[in-house]
Chain A
Amino acid sequence: MAETTSPTPGPSASAPASDAPVTGPAIRVRLLDQQGGKAANDPPPVPGVTVSVADDSGSELGSAVTNDQGVAAVAIPGKGTYEVSIDESTLPSGVKLTGKKTLTVKVNLASGQNVAFPLNGKVVEATPFAERLVDSIVSGVKYGLIIALAAMGLSLIFGTTGLTNFSHGELITFGAISAYVLNVTFGLPLILAGLLTIGIGGLFGWGQDRVLWRPLRSRGTGIIAMMIVSIGLGLLLRNLFQFFFGAGTRSYNEYTSQRARDFGLFDLSDKEIAIMGIAIVAIVVTTTIMSRTRLGKAMRAVSDNPALSASSGMRVDGVISSVWTMGAALSALAGVLLGVNSQVNFMMGYQLLLMVFAATVLGGLGTVWGAVIGSLVIGVITEVGPLLGVPSSIKEVGALIVLILILLIRPQGILGRAERIG
């Protein structure tokens, strides 16, 4: 059977096993010198080794010697169970068998079966724990910083309006998608698209407030009712995104797959460094605005007591508008960064939402610094957890459990303040 195999990618140009002179169903053994795992991608073949095949009753069907490609083929009558063994004595010096001498192979493919014997197999030489730990912490910080942007947005809006915004995830998705449209549909460079998206995201937040939340506030709608409205809005937006963007995952046309660089204890690609850098700048700018400027104080004032803020001469609606603008812009930025990190999908924000909530609550609802700290904690625990035994398929569980544990000790969150009674 003449099977065609084209060269596999990368440095390894492996020789096709079909070079063996046997046609029809066969057991083909391929011997490669792993060199203790060092030859990961290009292990040299081991020629001149004898292998033999027996059927399940033990009677030998034939034997063969590996050729230059390290391949030996023994014809078999058809499907069934066979025993394949290697003659260790024929191994060249310096090459040792590191697995079983005899393999029991159940053949159910018409063309037969390929078999290997590990030679000089890998001595378990996985990356040292310390390095993995540092690596995980770094990815945790990166993840945490992205969450932080969204969490600050959430916290700002919660802090000022008291609204637990369940449609916050959609602000993130909105950012990612609008950058996608600018970048892919309109062909702008991603950096420009990202910058524009911050503006568009802000505009989206502003518009949302104008069209929806402000009228609700002026009708005197309660906080819980508004929270439910946000659930409805989230549902609406999510499905609208899917309606127009589709259910698939798409990527920006720049910086999608970038190779990591080795920094000793950890690896990072340029785009990851950029993500972290941008996030940090955004965080610093936001916290400065919050603590230094009049607007920052006004935001906190409005969050405490909107009526009194109005009585102090603040345009409460104006302040809330700026909060929505800022919060949405931050979240849109988070979306862009997340999109750069792990593509664009209509669910991406929603999937992140629980983590964003967890981060905000962990830090203490309504405090901007708390949101940042909470996010970093959540990000790092999520990524480090699998090293410490959290099943990696459900690594979020680690962070969520830590959330509950911390709230046990500090019910008001890390930076939250307990309220005075009486």
Chain B
Amino acid sequence: MIAFLLKRLVWGLVVLIAVAVITFFLSRVVPADPAAFLAGQNASEETVQRIRVEHGLDRPLPEQFASYMIGLAKGDLGESIRTRRSVSTDLKQYLPATLELLIVSFVLYLAVSFSLAVLAARRPGGAVDGAIRLITMVGTGIPVFWLGMTLQFFFFYKLHWLPLGARFPIRETAPPVVSGFLLVDSLLAGSLSAFLASLKHLTLPAATIVVNLLAVGTRLSRAALIQEQSRLYVRTARGKGLSPNRILFKHILRNALSPILTATTMQFGYMISWVILVEVIFDWPGIGLYAYQSFQVFDYSPVIALAIVSTAGFVIINLVMDLLYPVIDPRVQSVGS
């Protein structure tokens, strides 16, 4: 167990280093000059050069790489040229917003996709199943960015039900920052209205992420449930005179969890990707938007940091899932591949 954990951790580290190396070199291939951006549009060439030197952008690539990696080992993610702050400081600022969005979306996704899958799997081939299948299929084809815009159009622009973007009503004062999660902070501040307001702001971005995840996730969960239904132990359960509901909830569900878990892990990867688009569209002040804006001006460090942070998140999720498998399925000795 310990050995397994250790192995996975080492592997996670390898992945992280790889992503750092890859993104570092990729970002330096770009034919753009962030120093020029920093210096401003009317700055003289000397000023630009001075800034290049200040930020070490004039040094040879291997040297820049070495110092970046050394910094990384110390937890230093470099400095953002655009925000003129250390990336770690920025991340501390932006990460909670993203995490809040991700967690809410994920919980929502899990709940809804699971219920839909169960609903569909109760009568495979039935009308409910057909409808769900169609919806999920269409859902997988909806481009996330387009969906976000369309939801904005209807729910903000046409119906005035939900806000356009951002995390909190503009004119109101947000609760004091404790955790960075507005939902939590507003409760800590004892303000139900603030909680509801943050929830309202979360609705569209989360819905946008969820629809796509949901589609893929429900399909996979449904397939897993239906596949389990044809297993022989289900026949045995029927032979014992169990009701279909009991068979579904007590027998099938538990067995279908492993494939669903695998699907879920995969989904998490997509979610990290979609979050960039969603944050851009909804002006959600998280790391996706942060990295995207930095990326627009070829401010490298935040982009690399995003890659590293999201990869780390992904590695952790994978690890958690690996640890969950044996809990769910006693046949799996924790010997992941």
The answer to whether A binds B is: no
